[in-house]
Amino acid sequence: MLPSATTAEGPVPIANGQTPETYLGSARASDFAGSYPGDGSHDLTFPASLQPNEWALEGKWDISSQFITTTAASDRLELQFQARDVYLVMSAATPVTAHVVVTGAGIASVETEDVSSAGELTVSTARLYHLVHLPDQKQATLTLTLTFDAPEVQAFAFTFGS
């Protein structure tokens, strides 16, 4: 069972116009940039650009019905989003470091309870990871890039709060 989109403070609020919940596995994938590759192992590259709410993969990824899995160090996931908070359900059998970068509209830091001030995150147990917390709701669409240092990270779904 996947964790729900809640924090210690309660349910994640939703604002008008923010990026919708986004599933990454093939059974419910939405908003993938280009043609979704389907189940199996795929070598992928980022498109030249992303539209608002779209996501893309770079590197070699395994895709299954419920989640996507990194297969090599330096696999990357990119998302265009509009929200104050970004969460991603992930898991790894052994701890894996990921690097979180947010670009656009004067973003200085993405530090959360899960991401250090240096933009590092350790993925381990299956849970909802808090990737981005902005001081206020941004009206601009921002770009989130996750780069993984090792294979075997499973990513399930993004959720957002305002």
C-alpha to C-alpha distance for 143 and 134, rounded to whole angstroms: 13
- With respect to residue 40, please indicate whether it lies within any of the assigned structural domains: yes
Burial 81-110 (b: 16+ CB within 10 A, else e): bbbbbbbbbbbbeeebebbbebeeeebeeb
CATH code of the domain containing 92: 2.60.120.260
The mean pLDDT of 61-80, rounded to a whole number, is 98
Instruction: Determine, yes or no, domain membership for 103.
Output: yes
pLDDT in tens, 72-120: 999 999 999 999 999 999 999 999 999 999 998 677 677 899 999 999 9
First to last CA, the chain: 25
Task: Specify the number of domains making up the chain.
Answer: 1
The reply to whether 1 falls in a domain is no
Q: What is the pLDDT of residues 27-54, one digit of tens each?
A: 999 999 999 999 999 999 999 999 999 9
Instruction: Tell whether 105 is covered by a domain.
Output: yes
* Inter-residue contact 159 to 128 (CB < 8 Å): yes
CA 137-76-8 angle, 5° bins: 45
Q: Global pTM?
A: 0.88
Query: Domain of 148?
Result: 13-46+53-161
Query: Is residue 6 situated within a structural domain?
Result: no
* Domain membership flag for residue 5: no
Average pLDDT, the chain: 89
